[in-house]
């Protein structure tokens, strides 16, 4: 099974989300930033690499948050989401068309890639609990 990683980066009550560009599946939909695990690397190593390559930030990964199947692919794929914290740099879009910091009350306004939907739903609930 192919593994894809995603970062749940929450700062000041907002989640970092990214809009997919025109050269990717699900063009224009929103996702948690991340990417495909390459041969010889762990999911955590992949996420650190991908966030540096795609956003220009260094992160600390604190643990797996959730998993979701990626539908519609010939090869079975699974999305692993990890809690991450930016330790150096400010996110800049390079492969994505846009980045946004979004509060839990705004997440429903964004159309997410199918595999991200259950993870974002869990993140929203966790963010709302943290605000109570």
- Through-space distance between the first and last CA atoms of the chain, rounded to whole angstroms: 39
What confidence score (pLDDT) does residue 21 get?
81
Q: What are the structural domains of the chain?
A: 2-131 (3.90.79.10)
Judged against a pLDDT cut of 50, whether residue 102 lies above it is answered with yes
Beta bridge partners of 82: 7, 64
Mean pLDDT, the chain, rounded, equals: 92
Judged against a pLDDT cut of 70, whether residue 4 lies above it is answered with yes
- Give tens-digit pLDDT for 39-87: 999 999 999 999 999 999 999 999 999 999 987 767 789 999 999 999 9
Structure tokens at 121: 């739903």
Strands 30-31 and 2-11: unpaired
The dihedral built from the CA positions of residue 26, 39, 86 and 69, taken in this order, carries a sign that is positive
What confidence score (pLDDT) does residue 132 get?
45
Q: Are 17 and 102 in contact (CB under 8 A)?
A: yes
pTM: 0.92
Measuring CA to CA, which residue among 108, 132, 130 is closest to residue 120?
108
- Give tens-digit pLDDT for 109-128: 999 999 999 999 999 999 99
What is the CA 110 to chain-centroid distance, rounded? 14
What confidence score (pLDDT) does residue 23 get?
63
Judged against a pLDDT cut of 50, whether residue 131 lies above it is answered with yes
- Give tens-digit pLDDT for 12-46: 999 999 999 866 677 789 999 999 999 999 999 99
d(CA 86, CA 118): 23
């Amino acid at each position: 099974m192919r593994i894809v990683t995603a970062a749940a980066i929450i700062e000041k009550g907002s989640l970092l989300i990214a809009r997919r560009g025109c050269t990717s599946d699900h063009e224009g939909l929103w996702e948690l930033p991340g990417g495909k695990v390459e041969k010889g690397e762990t999911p955590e190593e992949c996420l650190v690499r991908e966030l540096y390559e795609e956003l220009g930030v260094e992160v600390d990964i604190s643990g797996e948050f959730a998993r979701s199947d990626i539908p519609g692919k010939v090869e079975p794929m699974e999305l692993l989401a990890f809690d991450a914290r930016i330790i150096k740099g400010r996110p800049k879009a390079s492969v994505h068309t846009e980045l946004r910091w979004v509060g839990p009350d705004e997440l429903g306004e964004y159309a997410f890639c199918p595999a991200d939907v259950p993870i974002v739903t869990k993140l929203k609930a966790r963010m709302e609990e943290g605000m109570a």
